[in-house]
A = this chain, B = another copy of it.
Amino acid sequence: MIHAETLRAEVDSRFDDYLETLFGLLRQPSISAQGIGVDECAELVTQTLRDAGIDARILTTDGSPVAYGEVGPDDAEFTLLVYGHYDVQPPEPLEEWDSEPFEPTIRNERIYARGVGDNKGQFLGSILAYKLLSELGAAPPIKLKFLIEGEEENGSKNLRAFVNTNRDLLSADAFFAADGPMHPSGRPVVFFGVRGMLAAEVKVRGANRDLHSGNWGGPIPNGAWKLVELLSTMRTPDGRAAIEGFYDGVTPPTEFELKLLEEIPFDEAGTKAHLGITEFDGPADMSYYEKIMFQPTFTIAGINSGYTGAGKKSVIPSEAVVRLESRLVPGQQPDQVLEAIEQHVRMYIPDAEITKLAGQPPSKTSPELPVSRAAVSAMEEAYGVAPVVMPLLGATAPNYVFTDDLGLPAIWTTYANYDEDNHAPNENMTLRAFRDGIVASAVLFQRMAEVDVT
């Protein structure tokens, strides 16, 4: 096992080469939402895998191609599926960039380019880590499978089908990805899952047309009032959903997870000041991070009825619509929650129109597994500081494809600096973050080789 300090020195001595490889990837536009340069970038990633001594090829999907690579002994006792994405967000608005988005530029020890943090500089860290270990004669005795997709920034629309039609190819003992920014303190983050999501629209109607509020106001039902009254039955004063069956199956955090929650740094006063609020929402008996990770939400993402534009309109609105959204926690499924909402709505307004807009299951991996502990420990060694360990992220990702469909424990880390400004102009990654990501992957691969998976 080569220690982090040694690895860091080795990375430094090869850093110009590594930067050149990264810059090559960054110069290649790969905007999945706009269909620009995607095939070319898949080729380039495949070549990058090969240059690292990894057996690589292009695999097709119904959308962007996947760059796939494999390396390591066929009889390895441990296989790690490494995930990343080579596609990037559109660079617009171009006028807000201080240098060209697809012409990487170093200023103040940072590399500026679209996609450098999200995700080219992060997945490349794992490829280069393998290459480095191999050059040092320390290739880990595990099998590494690299799955670098090209549609993440466009909703990973074909990922689930791709993974499920390639189950044998992708079989592994664990899933690993580096994506997202580090904690504001500069500590890396390790997280083990994501919340799921259900989005639905409910439409109710008063009369069958908008009506003059003077000529008709009094005896004629108002769609907006009907909707407000319905919604007021759906939430408790402490911010829970007041819907039968909504919480069925919800798995509370374990003791271990609760302890992790307590250790996540949290600036309560700063958060309140930043957002201009005096009180947090939600149950008083739950901590901030417990609410973010282990409480399903029941949110109004949008509501609209009648007229709120310029001037005024004296109308009894017929139609009123609400977009409801729930972030789901382990144990819940989108369709089960949708059904609970539907049953509640129908109890009050039998003819309401209910439309499912989107759904994604939550998924998590236990932070107590040997692979989970090994990953946390690897990050601590690589960075010289304990990572912030998050049982779940509050947001949603297709993590369930790997945990539920492939049955893998899933480990996520973050290699990009906190202020990477991904999805925004002047996206950047510090030179140090790029270097440390390579080191971190190299430490992690070595630790994975030591995990007892029997």
Q: How far is the CA of A213 from the CA of B300 in the complex (A)?
A: 10
Residues of chain B contacted by A232 (CB below 8 angstroms)? 228-229, 231-232
**A288 interface contact, C-beta 8 A:** yes
Which residues does chain B contribute within 8 Å of A358, judged by CB atoms? 312
Known: A300-B317, A303-B303. A229 touches B219 (CB 8 A): no
- Quick check: is A424 within 8 A (CB to CB) of the other chain? no
- A211 vs B208: C-alpha distance when bound (angstroms): 35
A303 contact from B219, B308, B312, Cβ within 8 A: B308
CB distance from A184 to the nearest CB of B (A): 13
- Decide yes or no whether A26 CB sits under 8 A from chain B: no
User: Nearest chain B CB to A89's CB is how many angstroms away?
Assistant: 15
- One digit per residue, 1 when the CB lies within 8 angstroms of any chain B CB and 0 when it does not, for chain A 207-234 equals 1110111111111111011001101100
The residue from B213, B276, B303, B317 contacting A228, defined by CB atoms under 8 A apart: B303
Interface of A, helix, strand, loop or mixed by DSSP = mixed
In Å, the complex CA distance between A303 and B315 comes to 12
A327 on interface, CB distance cutoff 8 Å: yes
A369 within 8 A of B: no
Query: Which candidate, A94-102, A167-175, A289-297, A428-436, is the interface stretch facing chain B?
Result: A289-297
Copies of chain A in the complex: 2
Map CB proximity to B onto A197-213 as digits: 1 under 8 Å, 0 otherwise. Answer: 10101000111110111
A235 at the interface (CB under 8 A from B): yes
Across the interface, which residues of B come within 8 angstroms of A316, CB to CB? 299, 301
Shortest distance from the beta carbon of A417 to any chain B beta carbon, whole Å: 18
Q: A224-B303, A299-B213, A314-B197 are in contact. Are A219 and B276 (CB under 8 A)?
A: no
- Verify if A325 is at the interface (C-beta below 8 Å from B): yes
Mark out the residues of chain A between 257 and 291 whose CB falls within 8 Å of any chain B CB in the assembled complex: 275-277, 279-282, 288, 291
Q: Tell me if A254 is interfacial: C-beta within 8 Å of chain B.
A: no
Report chain B residues within 8 Å CB of A302: 224, 305-308, 313, 315, 317
Cα A316 to Cα B298 with chains together (Å) = 11
Tell me if A446 is interfacial: C-beta within 8 Å of chain B: no
CA distance A316 to B399 in the complex (A): 23
Tell me if A22 is interfacial: C-beta within 8 Å of chain B. no
CA A16 – CA B87 in complex, angstroms?
81
In the assembled complex, A440 has its CB within 8 A of some CB on chain B:
no
Check A282 against B219 for contact (C-beta < 8 Å).
yes
Q: Does A344 contact B (CB under 8 A)?
A: no
* A320 vs chain B, min Cβ distance (A): 7
Q: Show the binding face of A for B, using Cβ within 8 Å.
A: 195, 197, 199, 201, 205-209, 211-222, 224-225, 228-229, 231-232, 235, 275-277, 279-282, 288, 291-292, 295, 297, 299-308, 312-317, 320-323, 325, 327, 357-358, 393-396
Check A218–B295 contact: CB distance below 8 A.
yes
| Chain B neighbourhood of A308, CB < 8 A | 201, 302-304, 321-323
Q: Of all chain B residues, which has the CB nearest A321? A: B308
Please state if B275 and A301 are interface contacts (CB–CB under 8 Å). no
- Given A214-B396, A218-B292, output 19 extra A-B contacts at Cβ < 8 Å: A195-B214, A208-B275, A213-B325, A214-B394, A216-B394, A219-B281, A219-B282, A221-B279, A225-B235, A228-B232, A228-B300, A229-B232, A229-B235, A299-B316, A301-B313, A303-B305, A303-B306, A304-B304, A312-B323
B312-A218 in contact (CB<8A): no
Top 8 A-B pairs, shortest CB-CB distance? A214-B395, A208-B276, A232-B232, A218-B291, A302-B306, A224-B300, A302-B308, A207-B275
Query: A232–B280 Cα gap in the complex (Å)?
Result: 21
A47 to nearest B CB, angstroms?
35
Query: In the complex the two chains form, what is the Cα distance from A301 to B221 in whole Å?
Result: 12
A317 to B320, CA, bound (A): 17
19 A-B pairs, CB-CB below 8 angstroms? Answer: A211-B275, A213-B299, A213-B327, A220-B275, A225-B300, A228-B232, A299-B316, A300-B305, A300-B306, A301-B307, A301-B312, A301-B317, A302-B313, A302-B317, A303-B306, A303-B308, A303-B320, A304-B308, A312-B357
